[in-house]
Structure 1
Amino acid sequence: MMTPFNPIPTARNAHLQTLLPRLLRRQPLFAPIWQAFDLPDGDFVDLAWTHHPEVGQPIIVLFHGLAGSFDSPYANGLLAAFKQQGWCGVVMHFRGCSGRLNRAPRTYHSGETEDARAFLTYLRQTYPNNEIAAVGVSLGGNMLVRYLADYQHDPIVSCGCAISPPLDLAACSTRIQQGFSRVYQAYLLRSMRQTLSEKLTRHQKVGRWHAGERPKIKTLFEFDQTVTAPLHGFDDAQHYYQSCSGLSVLDAITVPLAIIHAKDDPFMTDAVIPTSPLPANIDYQLSEHGGHVGFVTGSWRQPQFWLEQSVPHWLASRLCSSR
């Protein structure tokens, strides 16, 4: 079990918790080592390493959230915490999220596990003496849940952690269109529309959009309806949400997995909280406060990132080479 999360007493508000990491950490904590990793279909993803892995050193793979990257405060913060623990950390950027546009029209989504599988297979073959674990954040957390269920008989990773995963995609798509959460939606869409526009200068068609068009997408649902779903073989956004939500496949996971949620997450609703008994290998952590990938504790003078303390502590108790 993790130490319970207690927010800064005057910073319990969900939106404040969500925004504080970006306000407190404006620059990455370190400069990573970059590597381009070629995928089986001829495309590529970019990797950001803490350092080159040493023989026998655990490797912790981080899967970021929607429109995230190494520059996201949670990403470089967690990687720095992994390095401090004596491990090697690496962010596998999803296609087009590293600052370089990927080659194919194809992008990524909450249930796309093939790229993760290709990279994890590469790690197993290249570093056969290194134990591998994975951490997924937000969209990357749901993707990790789906990956562990899809590859339950050979997951490669020995344990994992999903932080603020949108385990019911339809409910989360509706929630982010309400109230102040629309601010987050607008922020995410700016980056996603820009990437889509750049793709349309290279490809004749991306999803339902054609070269020369200016995509006027106002909601994440519209993006999933016109880009994500048609690009990846789903009938529509609802089909994508139903097919890729992680909540229904938790029982299929066989390795130790921690799931961290906050009840006040402004990206989500109670629909993401499991109601059925979970298998013993899943450690479910539900906090009253924390926002979306926030979880800032301590004091205003000395704020602390609870995730950067709790996640490595939990992983250390599950990694064989850390015992």
Structure 2
Amino acid sequence: MHHAKLDTSSCPVPWWLPDRQIQTLYGALAAPTGRLSFIRDRVDTPDGDFLDFDWSAPGLIAQPQAHNANTLTDSTPSGLSHSELIAKTAATRWMSDQDKTVLAQSGPGTQALLLLHGLEGNSASRYAQSIAQHFRARGWVVVVAHFRSCSGFENRLARAYHSGDTQEIGFILDTVRSMVPNATWHAAGISLGGNALLKYLGESGDQSWLAAAAGISVPLDLVAAGNHLSDNFFNRHIYCRHFLRTLKSKVMAKAQRFPGVIDIVRISNARDLRDFDNAYTAPMHGFRDAMDYWHQSSSKPWLAHITTPTLVLNARNDPFLPEPTLPGPKDASPHVLLHQPSSGGHTGFVTGMMPGNLHWLPNRLARFFAEKR
């Protein structure tokens, strides 16, 4: 029986980022990166909600086309000013019909990349910016799909997003393909987005039309990752607190709009991701509790069913996922390449002299995609 290949070559993390926590935090909060601006398209979902897609492509100009014309503004109850909204993501204006025509006319030689962000991420996240900038500079179409409640706008429904929502991933993929039908499409998911993407690929089998895919710093075993984030002292007080600050405020806002649907007492008392998923994510999305949600949504059991050429990149010192739970070659299909460098942290992968850069990750993705053409 054929199994996945394992690559343990290193990410050359610099000496001044000596451990997993510093590598993770510096990569997420301080590593230098430019700012690529996007054009935003809003697409209605079959259940009456919407998703926001941030696009950058040859022929698209992200700046507003006239003074106050088509400028991205917030008409939802969150009440953000234009400048506040732009600061939250990297979109500058809404997509026009002319923009859609430009995308649709992209030729058969066009290379395209869909990015799926991690928990509470968006198109301004450093990892998304570093990847998007790399591929756009080489002429690719790049689109960042925002999960519900992550685009700076309040969504219409009480539900949000979760790690195993493969139906949503399918809708996202169909949407971007319909916008640029002649392109050769690739997809990369980071952390939560990577888990949903890998699970989708495993469920889809040979039905996927993607040329290649990648999952980056994926919490493949959500039970192990969720417990580790919730029980480890540093993780609980640093990472959980960071995520809960925005998660809880968004859900409390939903509770005001949907009285009686959300248990606001349990939400307000949540002190880690397990508490939050028990109080909101699991019951809102049809799971019994956090453990049921984590167990059913983990992508690791689906790696053996993937037929799309797929890179699964996890640093062995990722603070979100205990190293012993990382998959080995027997856990994945021969279409999967497991790359497990010793260092890099969680979505960090910072390299270079101080102040460092985030070039290693997009270069790794580009090399993998090029090998699969």
Provide closer, same or farther for how the CA distance between residues 301 and 6 of structure 1 changes in structure 2, counting only shifts above 3 A. same
Query: Residue 21 of structure 1 contacts residue 296 of structure 1 at CA under 8 Å; is this kept in 2?
Result: yes
| Bigger shift: residues 19-28 or 170-179 | 19-28
> Is the 8 Å Cα contact of residues 171 and 271 (structure 1) preserved in structure 2?
no
Partners in 2 of 1:82 and 1:170 — Cα distance?
A: 34
Give yes or no for contact 1:168–1:271 (8 Å, CA) kept in 2: no
Would the aligned equivalents of 2:159 and 2:284 in 1 still touch at CA under 8 Å?
yes
Shift of 1:116: 1.8
SS in 2 for 1:49: strand
1:184 aligns to 2:239 (yes or no): yes
Q: CA deviation at 1:87?
A: 0.8
Tell whether the 8 Å contact from 2:11 to 2:360 is kept in structure 1 after alignment.
yes
Which amino acid letter does the alignment assign opposite residue 259 of structure 1?
A: V
1:70 to 123, 126, 150: 123
- Structure 1 gaps of 5+ residues are none
Which residue of the partner structure matches residue 123 of structure 1? 176
Aligned to 1:201: 256
Letter in 1 for 2:258: H
Render the CA deviation track for 1:8-61: whole Å, top value 9, x for unaligned: 123231111101223434776121111111111110011111235433312210
SS of the counterpart of 1:106?
coil
The within-5 A match list for 1:164-243 is: 164-177=217-230, 178-182=232-236, 183-206=238-261, 208-209=262-263, 215-243=268-296
Corresponding position of 2:350: 296
CA distance in 2, matches of 1:214, 1:281: 41
Per-residue deviation, residues 148-171 of structure 1 (Å, max 9, x unmatched): 012223223221000000011111
Q: Is the 8 A contact 1:60 1:89 kept in 2?
A: yes
Cα-to-partner distance string for 1:129-156 (whole Å, 9 max, x where unaligned)? 1111100000111111111012223223
Displacement of 1:293 in angstroms is: 0.4
Q: How big is the shift at 1:65?
A: 0.4
Assess if the C-alpha contact under 8 Å between 1:55 and 1:129 holds in 2. Answer: yes
Q: Is the 8 A contact 1:2 1:310 kept in 2?
A: no
Contact 2:329 2:338 in 1 (8 A): no
Aligned length: 317
- Which of residues 237, 255, 265 is equivalent to 2:318? 265
For the aligned residue pairs, the C-alpha RMSD in angstroms reads 2.0
| More helix as a share of residues | 2
Displacement after TM superposition at 1:316 (Å): 2.3
Are 1:19 and 2:25 matched, yes or no? yes
TM (norm. structure 2) is 0.80
Which residue identity does 1:216 align to in structure 2? N
Query: Which deviates the most, 306-315 or 52-61?
Result: 52-61
Moved more, 258-267 or 197-206: 197-206
Aligned residues of 2:32 and 2:356 also touching (Cα < 8 A): no
Distance 1:298 1:104 in 2: 44
Once the 2 structures are TM-superposed, how far is the Cα of residue 204 of structure 1 from its aligned partner?
2.0
Task: Measure how far apart 1:84 and its partner are.
Answer: 1.5
**Deviation, structure 1 residue 102:** 0.7
CA distance in 2, matches of 1:223, 1:39: 25
Quote how far apart the aligned CAs of 1:265 are: 0.8
Residues 1:98 and 2:151 are matched in the alignment: yes
Contact map agreement 2:31 2:358 (CA 8 A) in 1: no
| Aligned residue among 263, 275, 281 for 2:335 | 281
> What code does the residue aligned with 1:238 have?
M
SS at structure 2 position matched to 1:296: coil
Q: Report the AA paired with residue 23 of structure 2.
A: Q
Q: Which residue of 1 aligns with 2:133?
A: 80
Distance (whole Å) between structure 2 residues aligned to residue 307 and residue 314 of structure 1: 11
Counterparts in 2 of 1:253 and 1:213: CA distance versus 1, 3 Å: closer
Q: 1:216 to 1:28 in 2, by over 3 A?
A: farther
Q: Could you say if the C-alpha distance between residues 272 and 89 of structure 1 is closer, same or farther in structure 2, counting changes exceeding 3 Å?
A: farther
C-alpha displacement of 1:236: 1.1
2:56 maps to what in 1? 50
TM-score, with normalisation over the residues of structure 1?
A: 0.92
State the percentage of identical aligned residues.
Answer: 32
- 1:151 aligns to what? 204
Is the CA contact (8 Å cut-off) linking 2:13 and 2:352 kept in structure 1? yes
Residue 262 of structure 1: SS of its match in structure 2? coil
Aligned partner letter, 1:185: C
- SS of alignment partner, residue 220 of structure 2: coil
> Residue type matched to 1:29 in 2?
R
Deviation, structure 1 residue 280: 1.7
SS of alignment partner, residue 205 of structure 2: coil
Cα shift at 1:3: 6.3
Letter in 1 for 2:246: S
- Contact kept? 2:8, 2:342, Cα under 8 Å: no
CA distance in 2, matches of 1:60, 1:304: 18
| Structure having the higher Rg | 2
In 1: Cα distance, 2:301 partner to 2:308 partner: 16
2:14 aligned residue (8, 12, 22): 8
Contact 2:212 2:309 in 1 (8 A): yes
The answer as to whether partners of 1:27 and 1:71 remain within 8 angstroms in 2 is no
1:200 aligned partner, one-letter code: A
Specify the SS of the correspondent of 1:201.
Answer: helix
